[in-house]
Amino acid sequence: MNTPMDSPAGSVRLWTHELAFPLTPATIFGREAPLGLEIGFGNGAFLVDFARRHPDWNFLGVEIAAASIDRGVRRLRREGISNARLYCGNGRLILWDTLPEESVHRIVVNFPDPWPKEKHEGRRLLQSEFFELATRRLHPSGEIWLTTDHPDYFDFAVSQAEATGLYEIHIEAAPSETLQTKYAEKWQSMDLEIHHAKFIPLEKSPRDFCPRVKEVPVAHARLQGDLSQVGSFQKESHAFEGGHVVLLEASRSLDGDRITFEVIVEEADLRQALLVEARPCQTGIYVGLKHFGAPVQTRGVRLAVVKVADWLESRGMILMERVE
């Protein structure tokens, strides 16, 4: 995420490919400034409004849906906003694994998915662990803003923050700037109540919340054998401490020389899809990551290469070298 690319409009810079652990905000924005973080920016209305109101701030918007990222990028370009950046992925990952301590001045959560079914409560963002984590990432003057139309979720979030004993909580009318979203406009047109709270940390959690995902050297392997003799493939799942590697599919190239494995790697809040390739080289069969999608080089990604090599070895190929 820290590779700059100028947009066609020339006013918005996109950050692609590489994601550092931790990620210094000044690296993303090219300047030191207070950092605002919106988790779940939806159509980007609040994000653009905040960035325009606060040109002296940097603002990072996070969304899990690629379609929202696309809409957000187009909106930033259209509005000429240069002090905002977008990330497609998990908001907790950004806060826990990439942003350093005391780096965030405001966390904004506008109309989050309430996950109303009791069996889905564990998927809610604003739980006690998140509030504890935030005390380590928020600047000493930082705070969390929550705005929602869902009374049960609001009560849940407040009780979760109270349970930590780490926050002063202010329940008040939602400021006008949080009411720029399509959901806020919808609920206001229906004359429904909107709930708002500010969570101000009183002290830090005793947990240090060290990054769970770490970058590691890329693994590769070299085997002896005939790839053309490798036959059927069945999905495999491998658990490791902190995650899973799933070998989903294997397909052969048209010339028959290479086999490409589609792999899913899940660790902490990071889920990556990647391709591992087995192909002929001068000294045998080389197994390594295919240059596609630029996955973050993590322990799980390294293990994916190892598991593909293990699978090929189980099909009669001879392992000559493995670098883990």
**DSSP letter at 286?**
E
Question: CA-to-CA distance for 90 and 127, rounded, in angstroms?
Answer: 15
8 A C-beta contact, residue 289 and residue 295: yes
Q: Residue 302, class by beta-carbon neighbours within 10 Å (0-12 exposed, 13-18 middle, 19+ buried)?
A: buried
113 assigned to active site? yes
**DSSP letter at 298?**
B
Question: Could you give the dihedral angle defined by the CA atoms of residues 253, 258, 260 and 261, in that order, rounded to the nearest 10 degrees?
Answer: 130
Query: What phi, psi does 200 have (nearest 5°)?
Result: -110, 115
Q: Which residue in 56, 113, 152, 191 is the catalytic one? A: 113
Asked, as a colleague might, if the bond just before 22 is cis with ω within 30 of 0, I would say yes
The encoded tokens of residue 112 equal 């989050």
The encoded tokens of residue 255 equal 């010339």
Angstrom CA distances, 208 to 163, 239, 268, stand at 18, 26, 16
Beta pairing partners, 2: none
Amino acid identity of 264?
I
The region that residue 42 occupies, defined by phi over 0 for left and psi between -120 and 50 for alpha, beta otherwise, is left
Please, what is the end-to-end C-alpha distance for the chain in angstroms? 25
Instruction: Give the catalytic positions in this structure.
Output: 113
